Amino acid sequence: MAIGFFQKRIEEIIDNVANSDDTTSLTAEQLAQLSSELALYFSTILLTLAGALLIAIFILWILKRRANPATTANKELERQRLLQDLETQFLTISNQPSVWLTNRSNFDAKLVYEFSLALTPEIRWHVPQTVETSWHMGDRLITITDQQDLLTASLLDEILLWFRRLDRAVAGEIIKVEDIYSLWRQILPFAIDNRFSFMAAYFAEDNRGSIDDIEAVRQVLIGVIRYCQQQKHSQPLSYINGRLDPLFFDQLPKGMKTGIEAARHNTVRKDPVVMDEVSVPVQQNRTERKEPVVTSPENVAETSKKTTRKEPIVSFDDVDVETKKPG
63-67, 160-164, 273-277, 302-306, range with the lowest pLDDT? 273-277
Percent with pLDDT over 90 in the chain: 46
Name 185's Cβ contacts closer than 8 Å, sequence gap at least 6.
none
Whether residue 92 has pLDDT greater than 60: yes
According to the 3-state scheme, what is the secondary structure of 60-119? HHHHHHHHHHHHHHHHHHHHHHHHHHHHHHHHHHHCCEEEECCCCCCCCCCCCEEHHHHH
Confidence of residue 6 (pLDDT cuts 50, 70, 90): low
At 21 the pLDDT is 52
Confidence of residue 167 (pLDDT cuts 50, 70, 90): very high
Q: What is the pLDDT of residue 297?
A: 42
pLDDT tens digits for range 28-78: 676 677 677 777 777 788 888 888 899 989 888 887 777 666 567 788 888
Task: Give me the phi and psi of 131, to 5 degrees please.
Answer: -70, 120
Q: Read off the pLDDT of each residue in 71-91 and give the average, rounded to a whole number.
A: 88
Task: Quote the pTM value.
Answer: 0.62
* More confidently predicted of 186 and 291: 186
Dihedral (CA of 258, 121, 267, 159) sign: negative
Mean pLDDT of 81-99: 95
For residue 276, is pLDDT > 70? no
Residue 196 confidence class, pLDDT cut points 50, 70, 90: very high
Stronger pLDDT, 36 or 196, i.e. the higher one: 196
The pLDDT tens digits of the residues spanning 102-148 come to: 899 999 999 999 999 999 999 999 988 888 999 887 789 999 999 99
* CB 187, CB 221: distance < 8 Å: yes
What local confidence, expressed as pLDDT, does residue 200 receive? 93
- Interval 254-276 mean pLDDT: 63
pLDDT band of residue 18 (cuts 50, 70, 90) is low
Helix, strand, coil share (%) of the chain residues, nearest 5:
70, 5, 25
Mean pLDDT computed over 287-304: 41
Mean predicted lDDT score pLDDT of the chain: 77
| Predicted local distance difference test score (pLDDT) of residue 295 | 41
Q: What is the pLDDT of residue 30?
A: 66
Residue 186 DSSP one-character state: H
Q: Given this model, what pLDDT does residue 77 score?
A: 87
By the 10 Å C-beta count (0-12 exposed, 13-18 middle, 19+ buried), 273 is classed as exposed
| pLDDT > 70 in the chain, percent | 68
